[in-house]
Amino acid sequence: MSSIVLFGPPGAGKGTQAQRIMDSTGLPQVSTGDMLRAAVAAGTPTGMEAKNYMESGQLVPDEVIINLIRDRVQDTDASNGVMFDGFPRTVAQAEALAEITEVSHVIAIEVPDGRIVERICGRYTCGDCSAVFHDTFNPSNVEGVCDSCGGNDFKRRADDNANTVLSRLSAYHEQTSPLAEWYDQRGIFFRIDGDRAIDEITEDILRALK
Ligand code: AMP
């Protein structure tokens, strides 16, 4: 069993690419952001603890995240590994992950800060299947209908606004980007230019995974 990590700043396209490579990798997408939003919506103790951090664009404490992941990897669909999206985000999370499952590739989708705000502010997701779209760069084929599942329940995230994006970017640079070196030293870190057409990025990711 071996897992993959999709790494990069908020708005880099991790979720979009995870959905596109799911069939090729055969691994389920595990997004800690999606798990936390579901916990907030359900009003669970984890959700109540995470809510304020998420709304202000700060990272949720490591212990909360690591517990979520420990439980998630026990599920039967995770028995051959998973594709982590938005996890790990700190060195402490990466250290915990190393105890939980083997990671074969960390795919870093690199996008300059100057492009992040426009990418995040036009983003919307399908409430049924979590497919990600963008008003300008990746609209659904039929307005109001999800390309992936045919659902019509599009949502915009509460934290996808210009103010919160700046906090999320600071959290990324201060707490998450040191992980690049941590994984690079282990020889499993692959950098992909994420400021290009979606198809080209998918091709490069699949090439890196071969
Ligand atoms: P995302 O959907 O990955 O952009 O995550 C949305 C928010 O959830 C982040 O801004 C954090 O507040 C929180 N979050 C998601 N994943 C993590 C993580 N691995 N560690 C800490 N906080 C996280």
Nearest CA to ligand 1 atom 5: 33
Edge-to-edge strand list for the sheet holding 103-110 = 29-31, 83-85, 3-7, 103-110, 189-193
Segments making up each domain of the chain, as ranges: 3-112+167-208
**Any residues with CB less than 8 A from the CB of 56 and at least 6 apart, and which?**
164, 167
Residue pair 148/19 in contact (Cβ under 8 Å)? The answer is yes
Q: Please give the C-alpha separations between residue 2 and each of 80, 130, 143, 168, in angstroms, as whole numbers.
A: 7, 24, 38, 29
* Residue from 17, 36, 40, 173 whose mutation best tests the ligand 1 pocket (most atoms within 8 A of CB): 36
Using the mean position of ligand 1's atoms as its centre, give its distance from the Cα of residue 150 in Å: 27
Positions marked catalytic: 14, 89, 123, 157, 168
CB of 13 sitting under 6 A from ligand 1? no
Per-residue pLDDT in tens (0 to 9) along the chain, 210 residues = 699 999 999 999 999 999 999 999 999 999 999 999 999 999 999 999 999 999 999 999 999 999 999 999 999 999 999 999 999 999 999 999 999 999 999 999 999 999 999 999 999 999 998 899 999 999 999 999 999 999 999 999 989 998 899 999 999 999 999 999 999 999 999 999 999 999 999 999 999 998
* CA pair distance 186, 184, nearest whole angstrom: 5
Q: Is residue 126 classed exposed, middle or buried when 0-12, 13-18 and 19+ CB atoms within 10 A define those classes?
A: buried
Whole-number Å distance between alpha carbons of 99 and 47: 25
Distances (CA, A) of 84 to 89, 101, 136: 11, 11, 26
Residue to substitute in 59, 68, 169 for testing ligand 1 pocket (most ligand atoms within 8 angstroms of CB): 59
Atom of ligand 1 nearest to the CA of 61: 21
Residue 65 vs residues 20, 131, 176: alpha-carbon distances, Å: 25, 22, 14
Residues of the chain with pLDDT > 90, as a percent, come to 95
The atom of ligand 1 lying closest to the CA of 87 is: 19
As assigned by CATH, the class of the 3-112+167-208 domain is alpha beta
- Nearest 5 degrees, angle CA 119-CA 120-CA 124? 105
Structure tokens, 173? 């640079």
Distance from residue 110's CA to the centre of ligand 1 (Å): 18
Structure pTM? 0.93
**pLDDT tens readout for residues 150-173:** 999 999 998 999 889 999 999 999
